[in-house]
Structure 1
């Protein structure tokens, strides 16, 4: 079981990196990139690194912005591979995420290193969790955001490991 989980994690990470590193096609004007979940009239601004999707479009109505936030998935320094100790958290996400219409996956990093690197690392961490969920068959609508080092849990250097995380927030 331990070896199959390790193999699954590696497969998910490799697949995520291949997908993340492929050249993305230039969107054609007028064509939506993602499924439209609502109107822009009551949309709240999404401050996620310049993303154009509003929270309302992703299924987060004004009254439910807080949604349900799951336990964070933690990562080692400079890694986008969830540790073995994160298996229970990932299994909980696989079991619970399908109960929701939309989920936002936010990647974070500690402030060690360059800002651009940390932003990319946060994105790859979020993509790794998304790939894990998709590989497990979760069909929920997802939005991936990287905050890099912009939203730390702590500024204490002894606790920087708490900033190396992915958070998942879902709304019905």
Structure 2
């Protein structure tokens, strides 16, 4: 009974109403241009060392979440599937997944929510065949906002390539 009361208490105090009509703007667009192979004599030395480096996206848009939610929205599943494909093509690559929240809620609640968001992305990639040893998670809670005015931008998980 006590954990249930704690969950209700945290939910009531840690959440505020979502702003009606708020839209999450798209981040930078990535190119869908096909990768073409160059003849061996035209490749740079860095390409010769790792020819599949062109297959790995260097950046990925954040995965956004609704207020007080850890549900992965369908709009982000395609980009995560592409990420999983890229990771399978480059088995030495590793990624860090960071969870973030808006400023609403207590620090403790937001750190836990950020961790759950990062874990949702990690678990989705694991279901797509990426080994868990190549995925690390960390929560920043509300500590690294993208926007001070558009709270929806802060409710996210970000994926960074580790070299």
TM-score (norm 1): 0.56
Name the CA distance, whole Å, in 1 between partners of 2:109 and 2:94: 28
**What is the aligned counterpart of 1:167 among 141, 158, 161?**
158
**Which residue number in structure 2 is paired with residue 56 of structure 1?**
none
Deviation at 1:145, TM superposition (A): 0.4
Task: Report 1:7-86 matches (<5 A).
Answer: 68-86=58-76
SS state of the match for residue 124, structure 2? helix
Q: Based on CA coordinates, which of the two structures has the bigger radius of gyration?
A: 2
Deviation at 1:150, TM superposition (A): 0.3
SS state of the match for residue 145, structure 1? strand
- After superposition, what is the alpha-carbon deviation per residue over 1:109-144, rounded to whole angstroms, capped at 9, x for unaligned? 011111111110000000000000111111261211
**Which residue number in structure 2 is paired with residue 25 of structure 1?**
none
**What is the aligned counterpart of 2:81 among 91, 94, 97?**
91
Name the CA distance, whole Å, in 1 between partners of 2:86 and 2:158: 14
SS state of the match for residue 160, structure 2? strand
Where in structure 2 are there 5+ consecutive unaligned residues? 1-56
Contact 1:105 1:166 in 2 (8 A): yes
TM-score (norm 2): 0.59
Task: Report 1:80-159 matches (<5 A).
Answer: 80-98=70-88, 99=90, 100-139=92-131, 141-156=134-149, 159=150
- Equivalences, count: 104
SS state of the match for residue 118, structure 1? helix
